[in-house]
Amino acid sequence: MSDLHAAALDCLLLDDPVAKVAATRRCAALFHAGALRAGHAAPPRPIADPGRPSRPLLVPPRQLAQRGLGSADGRAALVHAVAHIEFNAINLAWDAVYRFRDMPEAFYADWIGVAVDEARHFSLLGERLAGLGHRYGDFAAHNGLWEAAVATAGSCLERMALVPRVLEARGLDVTPGMIERLRAVGDAATVAILEVILHEEVAHVAAGSRWFAWCCAAAGVEPGATFDALLRRHMPGRVKGPFNTDARLRAGFSVEELTRLGELAA
């Protein structure tokens, strides 16, 4: 039997996207077969940069060009941006498995499942990019998701609050609009992929909600007030609406939390 945390680190540090996807599927199969178990690896170490290819070029968000969806290149830029989020999400899921120790087995099962889903999403988007004459790395991207992972590396509670429930949950809000814009220009192939991603991302954000609540119970703190305090401390000016209320409720947000988010976004 091999150590799950060490296997997670191996997946996390792979640079090649194809190899990372394959390793993700392989490690998930080993975990579900009982061949990987948590609890024996060396303590987690800081990881300033996960495994990723030399491209895309990472730039501040304000330097990313805005492209219309009327051209194939404009649609490719949008698909690339989503693919970059999904690639980062593979790393984020494996980092949660690697970094946070002494958690219930269900925690590791959840985030391994998320890694598998994100790997499949990334592969679907990569195929769509190829259909549009591009590949992952052809457009610049930003590093905001991984920067948030570094900032929350010392606390599972903060990671669950701020990464899945704030940054990744933003996808629940903006993807329906992307789908409508792409449908309007006749890009049914990309619409079909984004509909799959939107459906499955609800469960991923719900995993963040579930484990945030678990961490709050373990720490003896109230989830709603704690989430509000973390938002005000770490995300001033970064909470944006409007919110996909239905999807967020299905993903484990309370009505009170959505009210607080609306106040912060106002």
pLDDT digits (tens, 9 = 90+) for 167-183: 999 999 999 999 999 99
pLDDT at 236: 83
pLDDT at 258: 93
Reduced to 3 states (helix: H, G, I; strand: E, B; else coil), residue 142 is coil
Question: What average pLDDT does the chain have?
Answer: 95
pLDDT at 255 over 80: yes
Query: Is 55:46 a contact under the CB 8 Å cutoff?
Result: no
Average pLDDT, integer, range 17-40: 96
pLDDT at 230: 95
pLDDT > 90 fraction of the chain, expressed in percent and rounded: 88
State the Cα torsion 70-74-79-80 to the nearest 10°.
180
Average pLDDT, integer, range 57-62: 92
pLDDT at 1: 55
DSSP state, 163?
I
- pTM of the predicted model, to two decimals? 0.96
Reduced to 3 states (helix: H, G, I; strand: E, B; else coil), residue 164 is helix
Other residues' Cβ atoms within 10 Å of the Cβ of residue 248: 23
Query: Rounded to whole angstroms, how far apart are CA atoms 3 and 30?
Result: 11
Average pLDDT, integer, range 254-260: 92
Q: Which residues pair with 37 in a beta bridge?
A: 3
Element (H, E) at 144: helix 144-151
Choosing among 1.20.1260.10, 3.40.50.620, 3.40.50.1110, 3.30.1450.10, the CATH entry for 72-265 is 1.20.1260.10
Query: Is 194:82 a contact under the CB 8 Å cutoff?
Result: yes
pLDDT at 175: 97
Element (H, E) at 2: strand 2-3
Which range, of 61-65, 184-188, 224-228, averages the lowest pLDDT? Answer: 61-65
Average pLDDT, integer, range 75-82: 96
- Report the greatest alpha carbon distance in the chain: 53
pLDDT at 82 over 80: yes
Average pLDDT, integer, range 21-48: 94
pLDDT at 67: 79
pLDDT at 98 over 60: yes
Average pLDDT, integer, range 58-82: 91
Closest to 12 measured CA to CA, from 93, 72, 74, 79? 93
Average pLDDT, integer, range 54-61: 94
pLDDT at 4: 96
At 238, the pLDDT band (50, 70, 90 cuts) reads confident
